[in-house]
């Protein structure tokens, strides 16, 4: 996924639209089992900066935070970002200053503006911290490890209660009753 800078430079100040349809697994190691991604992006060159805005729609494989089963999850997000175009550097530029500048900014150099890493980070940020395969997923029994969506188990309903009872007994011992 890239934008050819001479193309948007030839239309300075205008937004040029691009669309990419990719298979996520072919692009990103960390989304290897995932589906497709659609990226719509408009890019505009101002002389020193490239502004991009658009949205992504992706189908990724997530792992349920309760039952640990993989499931397909749809992600959608809008974005707007400004990248600084780094021109040819002169000998007068202090290397330390330049290193800091590059580290603190989204930068582009050369004729091709690659969007891959930006899109990858956007996907990572858009993912839910604790995804659920379905609302109300029952998860895995903390006592015997059974997948409670598929079967029930014979563990007591609430393991917390067991702990409470043990703690109560401990309390009795400590207080000498
Ligand atoms: Zn689940
Ligand atoms: Zn159980």
Q: What is the residue-level pLDDT of the chain in tens, covering all 177 positions? A: 889 989 999 999 899 999 999 999 888 888 888 889 999 999 999 888 899 999 999 999 999 999 999 999 999 999 999 988 877 666 566 667 666 655 555 667 678 888 888 898 899 899 888 999 999 999 999 889 999 999 989 888 654 544 555 565 666 667 665
Burial of 115 (0-12, 13-18, 19+ CB in 10 A): buried
pLDDT for the residue 117: 85
69 Cα to the center of ligand 2, angstroms: 17
In whole angstroms, give the CA distance from residue 128 to residue 79.
Answer: 17
Residue 115 · residue 3 · CB < 8 Å:
yes
pLDDT for the residue 103: 54
72 Cα to the center of ligand 2, angstroms: 27
Residues lining ion ligand 2 (Cβ < 5 A) are: 141, 143-144, 146, 153, 155
74 Cα to the center of ligand 1, angstroms: 16
Closest CA to 45 of 105, 4, 5: 5
Angle at the Cα of 13 from the Cα atoms of 17 and 102, rounded to 5 degrees:
85
Q: For residue 73, what are the β-bridge partners?
A: 60
Backbone φ and ψ of 160, nearest 5°: -60, -35
Q: Checking DSSP bridges between strand 107-108 and strand 112-114, what pairing results, if any?
A: unpaired
Taking CB atoms within 8 Å and a gap of at least 24, the contacts of 163-169 are none
78 Cα to the center of ligand 1, angstroms: 27
166 Cα to the center of ligand 1, angstroms: 30
pLDDT for the residue 102: 56
């Amino acid at each position: 996924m890239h934008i050819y800078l001479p193309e948007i430079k030839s239309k300075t100040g205008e937004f040029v639209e691009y669309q990419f349809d990719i298979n996520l697994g072919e692009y990103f190691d960390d989304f290897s089992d995932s589906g497709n991604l659609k990226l719509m992006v408009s890019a505009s060159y101002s002389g020193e900066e490239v502004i991009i805005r658009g949205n992504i729609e992706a189908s990724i494989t997530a792992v349920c935070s309760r039952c640990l089963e993989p499931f397909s999850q749809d992600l959608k997000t809008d974005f707007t970002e400004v990248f600084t175009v780094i021109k040819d550097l002169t000998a007068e530029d202090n290397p330390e200053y330049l290193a800091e500048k590059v580290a603190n900014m989204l930068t582009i150099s050369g004729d091709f503006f690659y969007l891959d890493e930006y899109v990858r980070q956007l996907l990572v940020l858009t993912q839910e911290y604790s995804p659920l395969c379905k609302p109300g997923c029952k998860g895995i029994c903390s006592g015997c490890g059974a997948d409670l969506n598929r079967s029930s188990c014979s563990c007591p309903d609430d393991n917390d209660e067991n702990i409470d009872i043990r703690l109560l007994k401990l309390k009795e011992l400590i207080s000498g009753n």
